[in-house]
């Protein structure tokens, strides 16, 4: 018989405990204890790419019910540079955020600035664009992927930058987040089997190197499962990484809008990963995806949708989305969402928010960001209740 919950002390700085496991799915409740506070899981991790959740202060981020943020290693390396952040006392102090922090490894940029850009797909790949368009030996036009790492051109001044496992770990150690990720190649869904297989071998080699290279004992290191859309590669990756001494696991890869494939991939991977360690799904999408990925066993997941859409004038509400800048909302005296208890919905009406967006006032973007984050976190809380009550 399986135990009702698992408890493990992961090194000194990270403790993860599963407090309830659903009988109906892979969903589970738990908490992650870091040096900067406890994160209750499942948990949405808002994106603070440049050491800021765009438009918000740290206090406002906290008030939106955020527990942990993820910053971007590649962007912070370019601007302002990890040396500046280290001398400011590390990321937490630099950005005045007392909660837990993660940094990604820079591996996603290998995709987004590489084949993602070449094929103009980024996060919105259409299935019809075709598979197997990238084969073994092929290189993206703007960067060069070698056995040791990736050569980028800085988008700021054009200078050449090299990122490999060593550079990524070194930068992340200087930044000082609680959880850091091993350097990987995030493969495109358009890559064929041979390309993905070779890329995975490299990612696994880099994962081992990152474990050896890591020198700070107050940070936790997560390995990243890759393997594209191929079942045998995904299983191989999950098993291989599970055999190594990682504190938790990221599940990476790009699926564009092929949600079905992403969910299938999660089914393959989650059963191979150790139950007692946390799993982080890297970069997910919309409110409707959240229950699905939690049911499949994701404990953490980062998502830029609430903040990104807010800055484009979109509010997420109980019955869908509102393009709040549309003129019809100028006469609407309702809050964004009657069921939402965020401070925006308690204090502002759609008419005023509509005016702010139309007048291109920064405060409008800030208020929508606050609401969207609160709305997404509330959605996760509702799912947590459902897990507790054995509904999912």
For Zn ion, give the closer residue by CB, 113 or 317.
317
Q: How far is the CB of 371 from Zn ion (least distance, A)?
A: 4
Indicate the helix (H) or strand (E) that contains 103. strand 100-103
Q: At what angle do helices 350-358 and 362-388 cross, to 10 degrees?
A: 130
Return the number of other C-beta atoms located less than 10 Å from residue 346's C-beta.
Answer: 9
Q: Is 302 a catalytic residue?
A: yes
Which residues is 45 bridged to in the sheet?
A: 302
Smallest distance from the beta carbon of 345 to Zn ion, in angstroms? 3
* Nearer residue to Zn ion within complex by CB, 56 or 85: 56
In DSSP terms, 144 is beta-bridged to: 151
Q: How far is the CB of 302 from Zn ion (least distance, A)?
A: 21
Contact criterion met (CB below 8 Å) for 289 and 145: no
How many other CB atoms are there within 10 angstroms of residue 366's CB atom?
19
- Minimum distance, C-beta of residue 324 to Zn ion, in the bound complex (Å): 12
Contact 18, 275 (CB under 8 A): yes
Question: Which stretches of the chain are DSSP H helices?
Answer: 58-63, 73-78, 82-87, 91-94, 107-112, 115-118, 165-175, 193-213, 231-242, 259-270, 289-295, 305-310, 343-347, 350-358, 362-388
Three-class secondary structure of residue 215 per DSSP? coil
| Phi and psi torsions of 379, nearest 5° | -60, -45
Which residues fall within 8 angstroms of residue 294, CB to CB, at 6 or more apart?
A: 27, 42, 380, 383, 387, 392
Of the residues 118, 184, 302, 337, only one is catalytic, namely 302
Task: Name which of 74 and 348 has its Cβ closer to Zn ion.
Answer: 348
DSSP letter at 314 equals: E
Identify the DSSP state of 146.
-
CB of 366 to Zn ion, least distance (A): 13
CA 27-105-276 angle, to 5 degrees, is 30
Active-site residue among 104, 118, 178, 289? Answer: 104
The neighbouring-strand residues paired with 43 are: 300
DSSP, res 134: B
Please say which residue, 11 or 59, places its beta carbon nearer to Zn ion: 59
Q: Of 119 and 376, which CB lies nearer to Zn ion in the complex structure?
A: 376
Nearest approach, Cβ of 54 to Zn ion (angstroms)? 18
Closer residue to Zn ion, CB minimum distance, 207 or 340? 340
Rounded CA-CA distance 204/216 in Å is 21
- The answer to whether residue 386 is catalytic is no
Residue 288: how many other CB atoms lie within 10 Å: 9
State in angstroms the smallest separation of the CB of 67 from Zn ion. 18
Instruction: Give the residue with the Cβ less far from Zn ion, 210 or 340.
Output: 340
Binding site for Zn ion (CB under 5 A): 340, 342, 344-345, 371
Provide the annotated active-site residues: 104, 302
């Amino acid at each position: 018989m399986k135990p009702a919950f698992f408890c493990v002390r992961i090194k000194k700085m990270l403790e993860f405990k599963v407090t309830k496991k659903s009988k109906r799915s892979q969903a589970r409740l738990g908490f992650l204890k870091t040096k900067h506070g406890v994160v209750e899981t499942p948990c949405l991790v808002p994106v603070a790419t440049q050491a800021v959740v765009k438009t918000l202060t740290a206090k406002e981020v906290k008030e939106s019910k955020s527990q942990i943020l993820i910053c971007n290693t590649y962007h912070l390396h370019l601007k302002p540079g990890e040396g500046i952040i280290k001398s400011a006392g590390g990321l937490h102090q630099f950005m005045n955020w007392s909660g837990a922090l993660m940094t990604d490894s820079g591996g996603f940029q290998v995709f987004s600035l590489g084949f993602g850009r070449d094929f103009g797909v980024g996060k919105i790949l259409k299935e019809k664009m075709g598979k197997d368009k990238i084969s073994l030996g092929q290189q993206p036009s703007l960067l060069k992927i070698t056995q040791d790492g990736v050569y980028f051109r800085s988008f700021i001044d054009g200078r050449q930058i090299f990122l490999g496992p060593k550079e990524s770990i070194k930068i992340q150690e200087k930044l000082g987040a609680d959880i850091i990720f091993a350097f990987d190649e995030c493969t495109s869904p358009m890559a064929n089997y041979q390309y993905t297989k070779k890329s995975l071998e490299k990612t696994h080699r880099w994962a081992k190197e990152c474990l050896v290279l890591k020198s700070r004992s107050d940070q936790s290191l997560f390995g990243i499962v890759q393997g594209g859309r191929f079942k045998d590669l995904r299983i191989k990756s999950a098993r291989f990484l599970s055999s190594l001494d990682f504190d938790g696991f990221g599940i990476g890869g790009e699926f564009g809008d092929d949600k079905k494939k992403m969910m299938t991939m999660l089914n393959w991977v989650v059963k191979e990963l150790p139950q007692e360690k946390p799993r982080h799904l890297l970069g997910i999408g919309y409110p409707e995806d959240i229950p699905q990925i939690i049911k499949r066993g994701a404990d953490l997941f980062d998502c830029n949708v609430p903040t990104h859409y807010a800055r484009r004038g979109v509010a997420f509400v109980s019955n869908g989305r509102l393009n709040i800048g549309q003129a019809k909302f100028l006469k609407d005296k309702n809050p964004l969402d009657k069921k939402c208890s965020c401070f925006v919905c308690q204090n502002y009406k759609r008419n005023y928010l509509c005016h702010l967006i139309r007048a291109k006032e920064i405060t409008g973007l800030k208020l929508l960001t606050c609401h969207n984050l609160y709305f997404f976190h509330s959605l996760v809380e509702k799912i947590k209740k459902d897990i507790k009550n054995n509904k999912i």
